[in-house]
Amino acid sequence: MKNSKMYLLLPVRSIMFLLVFITGSLLVHKSLDEISRWWSIVASAANILTILLLIFVAKKNGMTYFELINFDSKKIHAGKTILIMIISAVIGMGGMYLSGLILYGSFMPEVSLKMIAPVPKAFAAVNLVLLPVSTALAEDGLYLGAGVGRIKNKYIAVIIPAFFFALQHCFIPTLFDARYMAYRFISFLPATLAFSIYYYKKREPLPVMAGHALLDLATAISIFINSAFPDLFSSML
């Protein structure tokens, strides 16, 4: 795949999650809703596959993964990174609250509990590190490095990657419910637009990755707590 065509990879994660959840549901003879609690484990596995794909594609184009995302250690600024992390948290949580209010009439609708449902404690413990780190490397590598960084038109370079960035969340986990899918898409669209705009203007991946990882770390911590204390999660239902 030529450098300028890397944007063709943008739908790959949406397709990946659709296939995994549908196939998984058929294999274990359980509904999509019943297996939805495993989304974070599926996401970490998909992240690893995505990172390997990006490394492969970058190598085919004569570059490394870090060159693909335009990482430059000389541009690391702790203050800026912390600021972007805080802004990312505000935008990320704000998008989720706004989406819940629009579609469910609640800042934290019951459907949001699917994202912090308990899993076996060993998986939850590993995912405390694996989920936030691998998600930042995979998603930002794909949508920013191979998307924003490879599309020449300045408007398309932001809009298309941000769209697919948000779209993938409609299938994590996969549930064929229109309101749920709209809730997931709208929840993430403000953050994906913000990430794409920042990266297009600055070409600095680290602040975005750090902010992105922070959001996923908060989710991983919630899943771990609920996995360690399942009665706590039951009390939320």
Q: pLDDT per position in the chain (237 positions), as tens?
A: 667 688 899 999 999 999 999 999 999 999 999 999 999 999 999 999 999 999 999 999 999 999 999 998 888 888 889 999 999 999 999 999 999 999 999 998 989 988 999 999 999 999 999 999 999 999 999 999 999 999 999 999 999 999 999 999 999 999 999 999 999 999 999 999 999 999 999 999 999 999 999 999 999 999 999 999 988 778 876
Residue 231 burial (C-beta neighbours within 10 Å; 0-12, 13-18, 19+): exposed
Distance CA 135, CA 142 (A): 10
**Whether 3 contacts 54, CB under 8 Å:** no
- Helix axis angle for 12-28 and 39-60, nearest 10°, is 140
pLDDT for position 4? 65
Cα–Cα–Cα angle for 97, 100, 104, rounded to 5 degrees: 155
Supply the Cα-derived Rg of the chain in whole angstroms: 17
This prediction has a pTM of 0.94
Cα–Cα–Cα angle for 172, 174, 179, rounded to 5 degrees: 95
Q: What is the DSSP letter of 144?
A: I
Q: What is the share, in percent, of the chain residues with pLDDT greater than 70?
A: 98
Region class of 70: left (phi > 0), else alpha (psi between -120 and 50), else beta: left
Distance CA 155, CA 151 (A): 9
Residues in the chain: 237
Q: What is the DSSP letter of 74?
A: G
Region class of 11: left (phi > 0), else alpha (psi between -120 and 50), else beta: alpha
